[in-house]
Structure 1
């Protein structure tokens, strides 16, 4: 039942275009009294079961590596080009849930790993470019649950659906990460050599240069 509905949703989402949501290529709108945010969010709708909205990124903006504990999600590029790196934890859990207390045998060769409490082991599964012609990027509670999103070559926007939505009171809070020093992402490719690849992540605070503004959604109303 779920796989069939998910496949149908992917098909429908693949047909959505920027003009359907009355969007035209641009970066985030400026916030009165503040600088232009690197990213802004257009809220469409939210229930206890899912959230839907549009993220708008200015050229060169990055949504840092983060997780989606216990969630399924779909991301569909509406305009521009996104570079997306997707990770999951080898034990099938979200990184923010404390996965990755492995020994130094799996640590990168650049040096000793940090204390287990601050590091997380993860599996880099893909690093690809996505455009409006691409199929939606899919994440599940166990696969591709962590991702980093960069706008390349200009502003970009994507439609984002999460089920269920973030809810810190129910253990679905967002955690941020970065690659352990000495590691880097391979060049983006449809099938990068050497992937999937085990990596080490450090959980971090939200980056000081990353914040998300809000702006009105101009498209047709969606009734859950």
Structure 2
């Protein structure tokens, strides 16, 4: 094997991607052990593994720059992986991940991640899916947790039936995290991103479960996401 190929295959990012593929191409009920191995690898990743410049060395964002930037690493039919960069004080609004598993690992800075679940009963088996988001619809939900994560924290984990909605806030400066979603968003297959607002019943600093009402909203005008090239090791799948 050529030295460059050896370097690609041995990088931590490559190993995470390979393990994600092994984990999520299996039926969900059969992957607990593989999922645990993926968590173990992802818990090791740091900004240096992605060749991300430390936040203090990055130039100040120009006026009008997006509050959040995405770096795409890789995607298959089974999962997607990338890096989100948040400016100081930026927020990824409360949103869902229909039928999806997810892992979030902070690589620099500090985030507050507030996780919710809908309590409404889902559609009956065989019922047609709604053709479009129902903006304005109310959802009885529960705030599962609100916790702070730093680069030495374990990954935040979401599942189709637990912690599936979350809001992400950058605390005390800029922050970045690796994001793994399985399967990827696909509006044609019912996996579109919907946004919500908490109407009553909880402050997002609370750390205990509490019932709330959420209203589905259009994407907030204050939130948009730019893109940057991923500077880290190449991933081959």
TM bin (shorter chain): 0.7 to 0.9
Q: Which residue of 1 aligns with 2:113?
A: 84
Residues 91/6 of structure 1: CA separation in 2 closer, same or farther (3 Å cut): farther
Q: Does 1:163 align with 2:182?
A: yes
- Which 4+ residue blocks in structure 1 deviate beyond 3 angstroms? 27-31, 91-94
Per-residue deviation, 1:25: 2.9
- Cα distance in 2 between the residues matched to 1:6 and 1:151: 27
Match of 2:89 in 1: 60
Gaps of 5+ in 2: 1-29, 124-128, 131-135
Q: Distance in 2 between matches of 1:28 and 1:163?
A: 33
Gap change, CA 1:30 and 1:47, over 3 Å in 2: farther
Alignment of 1:128 with 2:157, yes or no, is no
| Aligned pairs (5 A) from 1:2-81 | 2-26=31-55, 35-81=64-110
Conservation of the 8 A alpha-carbon contact between 2:120 and 2:139: no
**Shift in alpha-carbon separation, 1:65–1:93, aligned structure 2, 3 A:** farther
Alignment of 1:174-185 (within 5 A): 174-180=193-199, 182-185=200-203
Deviation, structure 1 residue 213 = 0.1
The answer as to 2:229 corresponding to 1:216 is yes
Give the TM-score normalised by structure 2. 0.77
Structure-2 change in CA distance of 1:73 and 1:154 (3 Å): same
Partner of 1:187 in structure 2? 205
Q: Distance in 1 between matches of 2:116 and 2:229?
A: 31
1:111 paired residue number = none
**Matched residues in 2 for 1:174 and 1:16: separation?**
26
Structure richer in helix, relative to its length: 2
Is the contact between residue 29 and residue 40 of structure 1 (CA under 8 Å) also seen in structure 2? no
Number of aligned residues: 197
Contact 2:201–2:211 under 8 Å retained in 1: no
Do 2:143 and 2:202's aligned partners in 1 also have CA atoms closer than 8 Å? no
Tell me how far apart the structure 2 counterparts of residues 173 and 5 of structure 1 sit (CA, whole Å). Answer: 26
Match of 1:106 in 2: none
Q: Aligned runs of 1:76-115 on 2, under 5 Å? A: 76-90=105-119
Report how far residue 30 of structure 1 moved. 5.3
Compute the displacement of 1:187 (Å). Answer: 2.6
- Against the structure 1 CA distance between its residues 78 and 198, is the aligned structure 2 distance closer, same or farther, given a 3 Å change threshold? same
Alpha-carbon shift at residue 158 of structure 1 (Å):
0.1
- Report if aligned partners of 2:47, 2:53 keep a CA contact under 8 Å in 1: yes
